[in-house]
Amino acid sequence: MSAALILILPGGNASAAAVYKCKNQQGNLIYQESPCKPDVQAVSSWGAAEMQQLDGMLVLKQRGNGHYFLEATVNDKSLTLLVDTGASGIALPMSFALSAKMSCRNKIYMQTANGVAEACTAIISRLMFGPFTLTDVPAVVSKSLSQPLFGMNVLQQFKVEQNDGEMRISTRN
């Protein structure tokens, strides 16, 4: 299964690109710009984030399922993250983290909605989303994670307002 992804580039230009999330024979998730090969399992994926930049603010549109998504780059690798105010931090699938040249620092166990999961800590050298750029951002990386999460370790650094199906992220005054 594939999903079209709309990337909002600085300056407000949009370009359509397909992103495919596949699982190889070893069970690793792979994010790629071409369709999954016949010997690789296609994994259900998420749709495009609806977002725009307005005067130094990032505005996210709520999807029909009630969730907010945003487009970001992690060490210059693009991905779509689910904005999750219940997540303590950014969480990334292992396959994506490896492609973004991130390495595990410490092995950890975390409590998830599906029980205890093995993961590791890592650092995102450069995280970019909307008009914002952060450096040296702590993250958790997990083999079992299928949906990248954008959690509170980043959100708490910003003013976040939610109203009428929009989430507005801006700098704190």
Can you give the pLDDT at residue 124? 98
Three-state secondary structure call for residue 154: helix
How many Cβ atoms are within 10 Å of 111's Cβ, its own excluded? Answer: 8
Look-up: residue for tokens 């949906």? Answer: 147
Residue ranges for the chain with pLDDT beneath 50: 1-19, 42-46
Of 171, 170, 102, the closest CA to residue 148 belongs to: 102
Can you give the pLDDT at residue 44? 41
Three-state secondary structure call for residue 40: coil
Give dist(CA 95, CA 143) in Å, integer.
7
Can you give the pLDDT at residue 29? 60
- Could you give all domains of the chain from N- to C-terminal order, each with its CATH number? 46-171 (2.40.70.10)
CA-CA distances (angstroms) from residue 124 to 14, 77, 93? 25, 11, 13
User: Beta 69-74 vs 77-83: how paired, if at all?
Assistant: antiparallel
Look-up: residue for tokens 């595990």? Answer: 104
Of 167, 106, 114, the closest CA to residue 141 belongs to: 106
Can you give the pLDDT at residue 115? 80
Can you give the pLDDT at residue 38? 64
| pLDDT tens, position by position, 142-161 | 988 888 999 999 999 999 99
Helix, strand, coil fractions of the chain, as percent rounded to 5: 5, 55, 40
Evaluate whether 127 touches 138 at the Cβ level (below 8 Å): no
Can you give the pLDDT at residue 11? 34
- Side chain identity, residue 42: A
How many Cβ atoms are within 10 Å of 79's Cβ, its own excluded? Answer: 20
How many Cβ atoms are within 10 Å of 159's Cβ, its own excluded? Answer: 12
Q: Who's near 150: CB < 8 A, 6+ residues apart? A: 70, 72, 81, 82, 83, 84, 87, 90, 129
Three-state secondary structure call for residue 28: coil
